[in-house]
Structure formats: structure tokens, C-alpha cells
Amino acid sequence: DTGVSQNPRHKITKRGQNVTFRCDPISEHNRLYWYRQTLGQGPEFLTYFQNEAQLEKSRLLSDRFSAERPKGSFSTLEIQRTEQGDSAMYLCASSSLAGEQYFGPGTRLTVT
Amino acid sequence: GEDVEQSLFLSVREGDSSVINCTYTDSSSTYLYWYKQEPGAGLQLLTYIFSNMDMKQDQRLTVLLNKKDKHLSLRIADTQTGDSAIYFCAEPPSGGGADGLTFGKGTHLIIQP
């Protein structure tokens, strides 16, 4: 296994468009996390899944943000009606039930 | 709420030791983590320490934990140019739940030749 992967690595979109990012976790990991990182800041937690169940979503930034993990494997993060303030790096991490989190390379979103 | 604090910059000469400091607020934290981020990349887990330990050494890395003062440090011996990166301290959520980590703003380690 090569670790957590994320696609695309970069996304440029116009304000008002919808975007979707994909995360493939380490295969044996039950938990999957999404974070956002803006310039000069540490990652900010958004949501997480245990298998297919989304156990925390109150930290999603607005109702324009949603995430799914339909079969307990890969996950998608969607942002609807993007705004310039959504420009950031979106990071995915995975862990086993009691383990440390391993991060993917991130998807850099630029909203013009 | 949780708040993890770090100095923003540290400059050291190549070959010297680097010491990156962090303070955290949640005394119930079970593990504390150090991550490294190179430009444009994701976060790499460097090391972590369990809260019942005072020190952990892993090759060039030494982690010291002072639970009384809620202070964590990362020492990098014989600092090399490849160590140039942003280093993040992170703690798990209050009560040891499975929520996301809380990160500091990161310390930029600058290596002088």
C-alpha cells in the first residue's frame, strides 16, 4: 500500500461552481478525516468517518460543504457554490481505530 | 476549547540542534504528535509520545513532554538542509475521543549554511 492518495492535486474553479475531491485511505484503515489548511495556519478539522458512518460533521464550515464515504472505502468532499474564501488546501487523513493519522498530499483549491 | 501554540520561526545553522517548542491546553491528551510539512505537500507523521512518557528518542529526533507545564518539545540533532520544513504539534480532542486533531500554526524551521 502506498499511503493515502487524493485527487485531483490541484483544482482551479470559478466562483459559484461546484467541486468534488476524492480521498483513498490506507486500505486497512477504518477512520477517514477531512481537514482544511489555509496559508500560514495548521490544518483545521472538518469531519470524519468510521467505516461508512459520518460521526462528526458539525465542524463543516457551512451547509455548502458535504462529505460521503458510501462503501467505507474512498471518500468525497463536495463544495457547492464555491466562494473565494474556499481557496485552501484540503487534506485527507486515515487511521486505524486506535491509531495515529496519516495524511495524503492534499488537494489545492483556487477559486477565481 | 483546545489551543496549541508554537513559535512561528526557528533559524539554526546546519549541523546544530534544533529545538521546536509547543504548549497545549488539554491535560487529558493521551498522545501528542509532531508532523512535518514540506512546501506544497501533505503532512508527514514524524513521531508521537504517549502521555505517560517523559521522553522518546527516535534516531535524530527526541521528544520531551512536561505534563505539569503542558509543554512539548521536538529536538532534531545534527540539523540538515532536508529538515527545512514547517513542523506542527497536534493534540487529540478532549476526553480522548475519535475527533480530529487540533494543530498549532506550525514552526518554520530555517537552516542556515
| pLDDT tens digits for range A27-60 | 989 999 999 999 999 999 999 999 999 888 888 8
Residue A61 has a pLDDT of 83
Asked if B45 and A101 come within 8 Å (Cβ–Cβ), the reply is: yes
Given this model, what pLDDT does residue B5 score? 94
Interface of B with A in 45-64 (CB under 8 A): 45, 48
Of A14-18, A105-109, B91-95, the one with minimum mean pLDDT is B91-95
Q: A74 CB near a chain B CB, below 8 Å?
A: no
Q: Least CB-CB distance to A103: which of B4, B43, B102?
A: B43
Q: Per-residue confidence at A7, pLDDT binned at 50, 70, 90?
A: very high
Chain B: residue whose CA lies nearest to A104: B42
- B interface test, pick of A37, A49, A58, A92 with most B CB neighbours within 10 Å: A37
Q: What does the alpha-carbon distance between residue B38 and residue B36 come to, in Å, rounded to a whole number?
A: 7
- Asked if residues A46 and A61 have their Cβ atoms less than 8 Å apart, the reply is yes
> Sign of dihedral through CA atoms B5, B52, B36, A73?
negative
Sequence-distant (6+) residues with CB within 8 A of A29 are A94, A95, A96, A99, A102
Q: Does A70 contact chain B (CB < 8 Å)?
A: no
Cell of A102: 496519516
**For residue B1, what pLDDT is reported?**
43
Q: Digits of tens for pLDDT over chain B (113 positions)? A: 458 999 999 999 999 999 999 999 877 778 899 999 998 888 999 999 998 889 999 999 999 999 999 999 999 999 999 999 999 999 987 765 567 899 999 999 999 98
Residue B96 β-bridge partners: none
Q: How far is A101 from chain B (nearest CA, A)?
A: 8
CB contacts of A105 in chain B (<8 Å) are 41-42
**Mean pLDDT, residues A80-101 taken together:** 93
Q: How confident is the model at residue A79 (pLDDT cuts 50, 70, 90)?
A: very high
For residue A55, the chain B residues in CB contact (below 8 A) are 98
* Interchain CB contact of A49 with B (< 8 Å): no
8 Å CB contact of B101 and A59: no
CB contact A42 to B (< 8 Å):
yes
Whether A2 shows a pLDDT value over 90: the answer reads: no
Residue B28 is predicted with a pLDDT of 76
Beta bridge partners of B48: B33
The number of CA neighbours under 13 Å toward the Cβ of B19 is 6
Q: Are A39 and A30 in contact, with CB atoms under 8 Å apart?
A: no
A17 to chain B, closest Cα gap in Å:
24
